[in-house]
């Protein structure tokens, strides 16, 4: 449970957040963990909300865990451009996650030369992190048709799209045809479920993310039936990550224009 510090108390008094938001954090985290669990029917997960709310960190952690649990599995982490996925993931979230939670893997990440071709560790030539058990995480940009076409020859167990609202829905549909790798848990021998993870600071309700996850509508073909048990969405906001971000960051978010506050502080989809 998030400690009720003087700063948080002041935010509640000023109407920036509510006591309910504070009290519901653990329930939401538990719901996320349940959606990711192997026994859950959920196959598509959307974590949406304000800036610096731990959406990407939590999701990437789940991808690493899946790679460790399913030897030889492949996982794609993507953004609209390679420059974006490199700066946000390869040079920030991913090494930070390994350093904090997987120190042995972090050593493999940091000792790898940016020029050598390797069998275990970070291969910068292919933007692929290779685990000792043969699993791998591939980091790619998927902002144009050529980028997506290059991925069509490989099957994945997990596809994570960060800032998924920036990805064209046609590209999303093509990528889903690559979510097809059969892998087995290293202990139980049970086949692992295929999983798509989408992350975003909420755009407008006209986005494909809102239509799929909240309205269960395929934007390209409304006649296609989508099943609610396969979809899960959960909101995470900066206050949910207050232990890891400066209080001044929250204050700065309250100084944004209302429309930007709605997106980056309160994590809500806009009507426009």
Which tens digits make up the pLDDT trace of 174-208?
Answer: 999 999 999 999 999 999 999 999 999 999 999 99
Average pLDDT over residues 145-171: 93
pLDDT band for position 239 (cuts 50, 70, 90): very high
pLDDT in tens, 103-118: 999 999 987 766 666 7
210 neighbors 269 (Cβ within 8 angstroms)? yes
The answer to whether residue 3 scores a pLDDT higher than 80 is no
pLDDT, residue 15, reads 87
The answer to whether residue 1 scores a pLDDT higher than 70 is no
Side by side, the strands of the sheet bearing 74-79 are 121-123, 128-130, 136-141, 74-79, 158-161, 195-200, 44-48, 231-235
The answer to whether residue 8 scores a pLDDT higher than 70 is yes
The answer to whether residue 73 scores a pLDDT higher than 70 is yes
pLDDT, residue 63, reads 98
The answer to whether residue 120 scores a pLDDT higher than 70 is yes
Catalogue the E-assigned strands of 106-238.
Answer: 121-123, 128-130, 136-141, 158-161, 195-200, 231-235
Portion of the chain with pLDDT greater than 70, in percent: 97
185 neighbors 38 (Cβ within 8 angstroms)? yes
Query: Considering only 21-30, 91-100, 177-186, which range has the smallest mean pLDDT?
Result: 21-30
């Amino acid at each position: 449970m998030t400690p009720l510090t003087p700063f948080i108390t002041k935010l509640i008094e000023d109407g920036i957040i509510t006591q309910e938001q504070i009290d519901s954090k653990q329930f939401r985290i538990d719901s996320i963990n349940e959606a990711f669990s192997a026994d859950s029917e959920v196959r598509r997960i959307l974590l949406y909300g304000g800036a610096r709310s731990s959406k990407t960190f939590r999701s990437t952690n789940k991808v690493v865990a899946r790679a460790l649990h399913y030897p030889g599995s492949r996982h794609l982490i993507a953004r609209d451009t390679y420059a974006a996925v490199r700066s946000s993931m390869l040079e920030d979230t991913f090494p930070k996650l390994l350093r904090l939670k997987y120190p042995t893997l972090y050593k493999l990440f940091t000792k790898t030369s940016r020029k050598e071709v390797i069998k275990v560790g970070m291969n910068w030539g292919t933007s692929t992190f290779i685990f000792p058990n043969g699993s791998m995480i591939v980091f790619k940009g998927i902002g144009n048709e050529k980028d997506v076409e290059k991925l069509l020859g490989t099957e994945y167990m997990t596809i994570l799209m960060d800032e998924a609202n920036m990805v064209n829905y046609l590209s999303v549909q093509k990528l889903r045809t690559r979510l097809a790798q059969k892998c087995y848990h290293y202990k139980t021998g049970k086949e692992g479920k295929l999983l798509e993870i989408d992350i975003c600071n909420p755009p407008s309700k006209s986005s494909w993310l809102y239509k799929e996850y909240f309205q269960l509508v395929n934007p390209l073909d409304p006649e296609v039936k989508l099943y609610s048990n396969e979809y899960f969405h959960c909101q995470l906001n900066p206050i949910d990550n207050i232990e890891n971000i400066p209080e001044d960051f929250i204050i700065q978010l309250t100084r944004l224009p209302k429309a930007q506050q709605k997106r980056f502080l309160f994590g809500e989809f806009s009507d426009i």
